[in-house]
């Protein structure tokens, strides 16, 4: 008796006949963006506002002040940070808990998470996380009800192809793309913002120095 | 072999089921409102894409390429996934797939599994098999939760509970979650689901998911979702089982850039869905420690073997064709007797399940072509419907009256004298025909008015005849 693997592969081969030369794929869709730097940033911010995200802009070096401002506005005092989040970016005041090997229930008990990102896409308002040391493991930005993300303008791309290709070797790390807080339209097609993932997402856009 | 598409083999025929559902005005109102909303949103976000047609073409070509060399891509995926720490299983049919899932869960002595919306598991009736083995499956997608708690059936591929309105959903939640009070707003209902499921997400050790795409080049798997329940299911449990049909493979990671643009705009009318999770095998210190993939055939290689309808397997389950279909918009999804409803269901179910079980489905269409126009991967559904109708007729599946009628029509139309005589006869025969009807034909159709004068008579009596 042949194994399921052998049998399925044999069925496929019988179904398609002899191997054909690769079918051509024409990639005539838009790959590279065309917007100016400032227009691209404006588009990104506009898309984020679409999702009710609060957006802050600051210059390089002003991250700590801006992080403090964002957390104060949301009344957050105790925030999780990934193991490699740069200490230089942290303001004094809020209590930052570094995620070493916290239990999921401990994460559930925190007020939110603060992370960096790998890339961002202006057209869709997406943040892309590859869960490096500055972004934290996936649970960190999933279980808490609040996510504050710091993204630099040199990480921002206009189109989806540009954003995904920017991942390079990081593409086989876990990848999460985030476009706004979790949402559902399952009830009468009414968009409800916030179901299981963080219900509030804020973004700090830092002008790369 | 136990190829199965949910309970479709036992379902009532489309005309029978549709006739009954059309009486349900509440359901028709719910379906109409929901599909109108998605259609409007889709049109808006598709219109803003100047390269939409180029994306469709690329997607169609990528799918063609995949299927044409599917064996190589499956083997490539298997190798890459295994190298990254995943374990790949193969399942010829529904029973084999279910047995693999049950086996994995039992080997860890677990009694519960959290699930993110997976059409293939509805196909194999996995929940039924799990329950039979004493394992509790928990659906976590809001709509699937509504269906599971309400002991109902899905009626739409993307929004399975679209036939329910919010007061019906509120009723189900209050009863099944044991809530004494619950607000009426969608936000309140979503909040109730969040509270109800949070404890399960944190407790349950096994997760189960489907996949929207699987990348042969890297062995990566991609799940597209909105609520965050998918991220919970693929991240928090110790053991993750992901099952998908063999056609879900794409050759390269870069191919995702095409589908991740087409799918959200087509499915929910969003520029991008809130979350995409892409993972490759196991990552130490992040997420499940054990990862299983089940590659499911369950009839797909049969579809692959028919060159004229092979492109049915291009489908990315966006459901744009359901929302666009004038038939679906009247009947809703339950009439199709399958978890796959609407135009794509009308071609997919009969091919997977076997034509003998669903001979009426390829006729559940006016062939208007709206489905083809909105399909993000350019499946020519009307052509495949006609192809399947031909197969049904050839295998003797069509009604005797229809086959006889077609034979008589062929004889009559072949000779102009016969046609003229026939036209006169029809004028004389209309009255008795109205009285008896054409069995199996006039049940769902009105007979057309017969003109008082045939075209030939008019031609003779007018200037054309001089």
Q: Do A184 and B187 touch (CB under 8 A)?
A: no
- Which of B159, B236, B285 lies closest to A186 in CB terms? B159
In the block, residue with structure tokens 């009256």? B401
pLDDT of B334: 93
The helix (H) or strand (E) run that includes residue B377 is none
Residue of B152, B226, B283 to mutate when probing chain A, most A C-beta within 10 A: B226
Q: Is B114 helix (H, G, I), strand (E, B) or coil?
A: strand
Mean pLDDT calculated for residue range B92-111: 98
Q: Do A8 and B301 touch (CB under 8 A)?
A: yes
Q: Do B68 and A20 touch (CB under 8 A)?
A: yes
pLDDT at A1 over 60: no
Express as a percent the part of chain B with pLDDT over 70. 94
CB contact, 8 Å: B65 with chain A? yes
Mean pLDDT calculated for residue range A11-20: 86
In the block, residue with structure tokens 């109205």? B434
Residue from A171, A125, A166 nearest A149 by CA: A125
Structural domain including B458 reads 401-465
Residue of B271, B273, B377 to mutate when probing chain A, most A C-beta within 10 A: B271
ipTM above threshold 0.90: yes
| Of B278, B300, B322, the domain-final residue | B300
Domain tally for chain A? 1
For position B142, which CATH number holds? 3.40.50.10420
The verdict on residue A15 lying in a domain is no
pLDDT of A163: 98
Residues of A in contact with B65 (CB under 8 A): 22-23, 25
In angstroms, the CA A180 to CA B370 distance is 31
Q: Do B254 and A161 touch (CB under 8 A)?
A: yes
pLDDT at B196 over 70: yes
Structural domain including A202 reads 35-207
In angstroms, the CA B251 to CA B214 distance is 8
Mean pLDDT calculated for residue range B441-449: 69
- Residue A20: both structure tokens together: 């054909």
Q: Which of A62-76, A186-200, B23-37, B157-171 holds the top average pLDDT?
A: A62-76
Query: A122-150: per-residue pLDDT in tens?
Result: 999 999 999 999 999 999 999 999 999 99
Mean pLDDT calculated for residue range B317-336: 96
Mean pLDDT calculated for residue range B29-37: 92
Domain tally for chain B? 2
Four-residue CA torsion sign, B72, A177, B211, A138: positive
pLDDT at B413 over 90: no
pLDDT at B436 over 80: no
Distance of CA A25 to the CA centre of its chain: 29
Report the mean per-residue pLDDT for chain A.
94
Query: A160-192: per-residue pLDDT in tens?
Result: 999 999 999 999 999 999 998 888 887 887 888
Least confident of B229-238, B318-327, B394-403: B394-403
Residue of A171, A184, A190, A200 to mutate when probing chain B, most B C-beta within 10 A: A184
Residue from A55, A83, A9, A74 nearest A150 by CA: A55
The verdict on residue B182 lying in a domain is yes
Q: Does residue B143 sit in the same domain as residue B280?
A: yes
CB contact, 8 Å: A133 with chain B? no
DSSP secondary structure letters along B199-210: HHHHH--EEEE-
pLDDT of B440: 61
The verdict on residue B166 lying in a domain is yes
pLDDT at B400 over 70: no
pLDDT at B445 over 90: no
Mean pLDDT calculated for residue range A104-110: 94
CB contact, 8 Å: A174 with chain B? yes
The verdict on residue A142 lying in a domain is yes
DSSP A167: T
| Of B300, B321, B341, the domain-final residue | B300
The verdict on residue A122 lying in a domain is yes
pLDDT of B398: 63
The verdict on residue A8 lying in a domain is no
pLDDT at B443 over 70: no
Please name the residues in contact with B37: beta carbons below 8 A apart, sequence gap of 6 or more.
A189
Mean pLDDT calculated for residue range B308-323: 97
- Residue B263: both structure tokens together: 């799918």
List, as own/partner pairs, every contact residues B360-364 make where C-beta atoms lie below 8 angstroms and the sequence separation is at least 24, other chains included: B360/B13, B360/B14, B360/B15, B361/B14, B361/B336, B361/B337, B362/B388, B362/B389, B362/B392, B363/B14, B363/B389, B364/B14, B364/B18, B364/B327, B364/B335, B364/B336
Q: Does residue B74 sit in the same domain as residue B192?
A: yes
């Amino acid at each position: 008796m042949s194994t399921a693997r052998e049998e399925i592969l044999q069925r496929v081969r019988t179904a398609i006949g002899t191997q054909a030369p690769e079918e051509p794929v024409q990639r005539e869709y838009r790959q590279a963006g065309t917007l100016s730097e400032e227009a691209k940033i404006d588009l990104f911010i506009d898309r984020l506002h679409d999702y009710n995200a609060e957006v802050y802009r600051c210059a390089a070096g002003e991250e700590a002040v801006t992080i403090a401002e964002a957390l104060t506005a949301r009344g957050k005092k105790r925030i999780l940070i990934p193991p490699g989040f740069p200490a230089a970016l942290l303001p004094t005041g809020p209590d930052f808990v570094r995620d070493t090997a916290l239990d999921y229930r401990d994460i559930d008990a925190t007020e939110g998470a603060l992370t960096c990102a790998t890339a961002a896409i202006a057209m869709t308002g997406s943040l892309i996380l590859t869960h490096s040391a500055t972004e934290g493991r996936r649970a960190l930005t999933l279980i808490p009800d609040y996510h504050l993300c710091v993204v630099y303008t040199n990480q921002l791309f206009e189109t989806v192809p540009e954003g995904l290709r920017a991942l390079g070797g990081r593409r086989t790390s876990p990848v999460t793309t985030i476009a706004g807080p979790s949402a559902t339209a399952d009830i009468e097609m009414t968009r409800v913002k916030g179901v299981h993932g963080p219900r509030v997402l804020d973004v700090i856009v830092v002008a790369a120095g | 072999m136990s190829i199965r598409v949910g309970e479709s083999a036992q379902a009532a025929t489309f005309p029978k089921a549709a006739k009954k559902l059309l009486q349900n005005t509440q359901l028709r109102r719910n379906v109409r409102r929901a599909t109108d909303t998605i259609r409007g949103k889709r049109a808006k976000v598709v219109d803003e894409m100047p390269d939409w047609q180029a994306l469709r073409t690329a997607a169609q070509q990528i799918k063609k390429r995949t299927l044409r060399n599917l064996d190589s891509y499956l083997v490539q995926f298997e190798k890459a996934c295994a190298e990254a720490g995943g374990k790949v299983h193969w399942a010829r049919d529904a029973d084999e797939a279910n047995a693999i899932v049950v086996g994995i869960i039992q080997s860890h002595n677990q009694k519960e599994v959290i699930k993110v919306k997976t059409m293939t598991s509805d196909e194999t009736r996995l929940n039924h098999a799990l329950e039979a083995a004493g394992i509790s499956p928990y659906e976590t997608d809001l709509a699937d939760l509504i269906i599971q708690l309400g002991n109902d059936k899905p009626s739409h591929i993307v929004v399975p509970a679209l036939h329910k309105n919010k007061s019906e959903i509120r009723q189900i939640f209050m009863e099944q979650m044991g809530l004494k009070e619950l607000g009426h707003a969608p936000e309140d209902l979503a909040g109730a689901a969040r509270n109800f499921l949070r404890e399960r997400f944190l407790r349950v050790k096994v997760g189960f998911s489907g996949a929207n795409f699987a990348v042969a080049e890297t062995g990566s798997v991609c799940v597209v979702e909105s609520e965050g329940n998918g991220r919970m299911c693929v991240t928090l449990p110790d053991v993750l089982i992901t099952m998908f049909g063999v056609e879900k493979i794409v050759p390269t990671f870069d191919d995702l850039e095409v589908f991740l643009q087409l799918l959200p705009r087509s499915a929910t009318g969003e520029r991008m869905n809130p979350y995409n999770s892409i993972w490759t095998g196991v990552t130490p210190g992040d997420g499940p420690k054990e990862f299983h993939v089940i590659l499911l055939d369950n009839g797909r290689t049969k579809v692959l073997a028919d060159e004229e309808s092979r492109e049915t397997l291009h489908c990315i389950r966006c459901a744009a064709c359901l929302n666009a279909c004038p038939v679906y918009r009247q009947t809703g999804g339950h009439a199709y007797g399958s978890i796959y409803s609407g135009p794509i269901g009308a071609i997919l179910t009969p091919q997977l399940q076997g034509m003998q079980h669903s001979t009426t489905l390829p006729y559940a269409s006016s062939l208007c072509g709206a489905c083809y126009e909105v399909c993000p991967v350019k499946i020519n559904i009307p052509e495949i419907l006609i192809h399947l109708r031909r197969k049904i007729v050839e295998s003797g599946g069509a009604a005797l009256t229809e086959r006889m009628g077609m034979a008589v029509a062929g004889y009559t139309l072949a000779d102009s004298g016969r046609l003229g005589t026939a036209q006169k006869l029809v004028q004389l025969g209309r009255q008795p025909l109205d009285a008896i009807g054409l069995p199996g034909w006039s049940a769902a159709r009105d007979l057309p008015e017969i003109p008082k004068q045939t075209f030939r008579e008019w031609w003779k009596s007018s200037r054309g005849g001089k």
